[in-house]
């Protein structure tokens, strides 16, 4: 059975003290996350040691970095490698978030290199895809999103994609308060799964957790996560508030 995942993406928010308080609150109010459910905290790099020490021992919790560099090591001042993350026992890393694609010009090829380094280094990617508003309005979101997956992931083997994590985040729904309807989310998630099924077969496709991201909050999580191909969420703003994110965790199916 594929994992149902509530993943937080704190982005560039919170002081160290606030991050500690939030992590502590989440761990104490969610003591028993069940077997096929997982909470992932995507924290800024400086807070990784704190998050690992506070949440690392809590059953069902894992820590993610929000990015990594696309080269193995070397003279890249200010960057963080997969090897560094792996050496700290960071289990996940968010790859290809739309903010990184847009503000840091990350293209399909760079993202493929990052994914390769992650898989070789033992850090699991959470691979983000999703269309801007203009593409949604033109009605070409399926082909747009499919291309993102094909160009950065379809060189991988079936084994490498088994149990993989994808986050579908329509850009027009990120930080706007405008959520995709649960029907729109289900339609795209089913499409994404069918694309993997077409290339790799149903067993691989059914093992992939496809998270929805874009204005997920306590009030809409149950509706979204109730859809058969929505396996949880990647949550920005609402993951910064302990009670909100706890309700989102408890909305996992």
- The only residue of 106, 169, 229, 244 in contact with ligand 13P, by rule CB under 6 A: 169
Q: Is 244 assigned a catalytic role?
A: no
For the chain, the 3-state helix, strand and coil shares in percent, each to the nearest 5, are 50, 15, 35
| Shorter beta-carbon distance to ligand 13P: residue 141 or 204 | 141
Among 3, 4, 5, 9, binds ligand 13P (CB under 6 A): 9
Q: Does 251 bind ligand 13P (CB under 6 A)?
A: no
Q: Which of 175, 198, 201, 228 binds ligand 13P (CB under 6 A)?
A: 175
Q: How far apart are CA 27 and CA 17, in angstroms?
A: 16
Structure tokens, 128: 């983000």
- The nearer residue to ligand 13P, 169 or 229, going by C-beta atoms, is 169
Q: How many residues bind ligand 13P (CB under 6 A)?
A: 14
In whole angstroms, give the CA distance from residue 13 to residue 68: 18
- The token duo for 95 is 């790859």
The span from the CA of 146 to the CA of 189, in Å, is 11
Write out the two tokens for 50: 């704190």
Helix and strand numbers (H, E) in the chain are 12, 8
Measured from the CB atom, is 60 or 214 closer to ligand 13P?
A: 214
Structure tokens belonging to residue 104: 């840091």
For residues 122 to 161, the per-residue mask of contacts with ligand 13P, x marking binding by CB under 6 A and - elsewhere, is ----------------------------------------
Q: In this chain, which stretch among 57-65, 84-92, 181-189, 234-242 interacts with ligand 13P, using CB under 6 A?
A: 234-242
Active site members: 97, 169
């Amino acid at each position: 059975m594929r994992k149902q995942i509530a993943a937080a993406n704190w982005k560039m928010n919170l002081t160290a003290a606030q991050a500690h308080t939030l992590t502590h609150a989440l761990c104490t109010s969610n003591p028993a996350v069940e077997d096929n459910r997982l909470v992932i905290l995507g924290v800024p790099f400086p807070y990784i040691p704190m998050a690992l020490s506070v949440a690392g021992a809590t059953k069902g919790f894992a820590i993610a970095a929000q990015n990594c560099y696309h080269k193995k090591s070397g003279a890249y001042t200010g960057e963080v490698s997969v090897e560094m993350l792996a050496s700290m026992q960071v289990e996940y890393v968010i790859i290809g978030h739309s903010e990184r694609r847009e503000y840091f010009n990350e293209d399909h090829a760079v993202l493929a290199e990052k994914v390769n380094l992650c898989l070789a280094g033992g850090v699991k990617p959470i691979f983000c895809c999703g269309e801007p508003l203009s593409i949604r309005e033109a009605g070409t979101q399926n082909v747009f999103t499919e291309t993102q997956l094909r160009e950065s992931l379809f060189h991988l083997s079936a084994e490498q994609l088994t149990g993989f994590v994808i986050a579908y985040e329509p850009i027009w729904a990120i930080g706007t308060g405008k959520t995709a309807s649960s029907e729109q989310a289900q339609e795209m998630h089913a499409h994404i799964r069918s694309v993997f099924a077409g290339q790799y077969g149903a067993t691989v496709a059914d093992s992939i957790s496809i998270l929805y991201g874009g204005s997920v909050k306590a009030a809409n999580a149950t509706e979204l996560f109730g859809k058969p191909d929505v396996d949880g969420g990647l949550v920005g703003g609402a993951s910064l508030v302990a009670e909100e994110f706890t309700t989102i965790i408890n909305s996992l199916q």
